[in-house]
Amino acid sequence: MEYKNDFVVAHLLGLDFCKDHNLNTDGAILVFKNLIKSIISTNYNIILTSDHSGEEFIPYFEVFTHSK
What tens digit of pLDDT does each residue of 16-55 get? 777 778 888 788 778 778 877 887 787 777 887 776 656 6
Q: Are 19 and 50 in contact (CB under 8 A)?
A: no
- Three-state DSSP state, 31: helix
Global pTM exceeds 0.75: no
> How much is the average pLDDT of 1-28?
74
CA–CA dist 55, 23 (Å, integer): 15
